[in-house]
Amino acid sequence: MGVAGQREIVASPATPTDVVGLGRLRAVGFVAPALALVGIFLIFPALWTLYIGATNFRLTGASARSPAFVGLANLQRALTDDTFYRSLWLTLVFVLGSAVIGQNGLGFTLAWAMRDVHRWVKRTLEALVLLAWILPSSVVAFLWIAMLDRDGGTVNELLGRTPGVAWLIQYPMAGIVIFNIWRGTAFSMMLYSAALSSVPPSHLETARLVGATGAQTLRDVVFPHIRRYTLSNTLLITLWTFNDFTPFLLTAGGPNHRSEIIAAYIYNTAIVGGDMGYSGAISLLVLLINLLMALVYLRAARVRRRAA
């Protein structure tokens, strides 16, 4: 309010918000390109999803030619559909297991363990972790399938098991969780590396002098400094992981829907099952969940700024 008050004083009474004196037309001209992009790539697809979700549109058959408007029927069906909730539950397990606990934990551990090692070792390890992050998904998925396959897969060969274990069929969720930890740890590791450098060395030194154990140092010296980074990191990787489609390349949601996280569920419903209308409704629900998470993130960021 204080800022608004100051602005009020300098701006002319006719256009109280026009700080730089552009005039309404030119101001619109300035933001128009950005708005157009937002409109084309964000708002239009969202509305399109809303529209598809309100029809019985299918990939093939008579309702592909002339879809009928069904109103909220698809949403109603989604909210009473066990397979939708199962998919949400699997997504929750996937996000918690692979992002919130896995990538966060491993990323921090790596960053913490590497802070004092030789530069050469550090660079090599960083390069390897980064490699997992920057390789194209399809390549990575192929490598993992080759590694975990039952017949002649690398892991089974190393264990010397014949017949081998069909890892991705017997443990599909564990498979994609471990895969995603491996794939995404690089980001958390880099973020925590940067965050740890903000911990004043003098504090660490003091802790050492007073005889604090490693755990005590972490709890009382390091965490208070990096708490803000932890929050940002967790929210970001949560959003990414929630919408991640790569696990589909490993298990296709199977076997028997046991690893069908929400992105795979939508794909399977729309493209494999052909039920575009229903998957549109589910996509809309997912969009809302995403917006909710984004709001939490923005709110948390604001609180943090104020606290800082």
Q: Residue numbers of the site for another protein (CB under 8 A)?
A: 1, 4-5, 8, 16-17, 43-44, 47-48, 50-52, 55, 57-62, 64-67, 150-151, 166, 169-170, 251-252, 254-256, 271-274
- What is the token pair recorded at 297? 């993130």
Whose Cβ is closer to another protein: residue 43's or residue 294's? 43
**CA neighbours closer than 13 Å in the CB half-sphere of residue 87:** 29
Whose Cβ is closer to another protein: residue 1's or residue 215's? 1
Q: Give min distance, CB of 51 to another protein, in A.
A: 6
Nearest 5°: phi and psi at 69? -75, 125
CA separation for the pair 273, 253 (Å, rounded):
13
User: Which has the closest alpha carbon to 105: 214, 286, 209, 233?
Assistant: 233
Q: Give min distance, CB of 176 to another protein, in A.
A: 13
Q: Give min distance, CB of 267 to another protein, in A.
A: 10
Q: Give min distance, CB of 227 to another protein, in A.
A: 35
CA 38 to chain centre: 20
Q: Give min distance, CB of 8 to another protein, in A.
A: 6
Whose Cβ is closer to another protein: residue 77's or residue 203's? 77
Whose Cβ is closer to another protein: residue 144's or residue 187's? 144
CA separation for the pair 227, 65 (Å, rounded):
54
User: Which has the closest alpha carbon to 213: 202, 221, 224?
Assistant: 221
Which letter, b or e, does each residue of 156-183 get, where b requires 16 or more Cβ atoms within 10 Å of its Cβ?
beeeeeeebebbbbebbbebbbbbbbbb
Q: Give min distance, CB of 100 to another protein, in A.
A: 28
Q: Which stretches within the chain are classed as H helix?
A: 2-10, 24-38, 44-53, 62-65, 73-79, 82-94, 104-113, 119-134, 137-148, 154-159, 167-170, 172-196, 201-209, 214-217, 223-242, 246-251, 262-267, 276-307
- What is the token pair recorded at 261? 């996280």
User: Which has the closest alpha carbon to 240: 131, 127, 122, 133?
Assistant: 133
Whose Cβ is closer to another protein: residue 52's or residue 78's? 52
Whose Cβ is closer to another protein: residue 60's or residue 202's? 60
Whose Cβ is closer to another protein: residue 229's or residue 278's? 278
Q: Give min distance, CB of 5 to another protein, in A.
A: 6
CA separation for the pair 205, 76 (Å, rounded):
60
Whose Cβ is closer to another protein: residue 224's or residue 273's? 273
Q: Give min distance, CB of 81 to another protein, in A.
A: 12
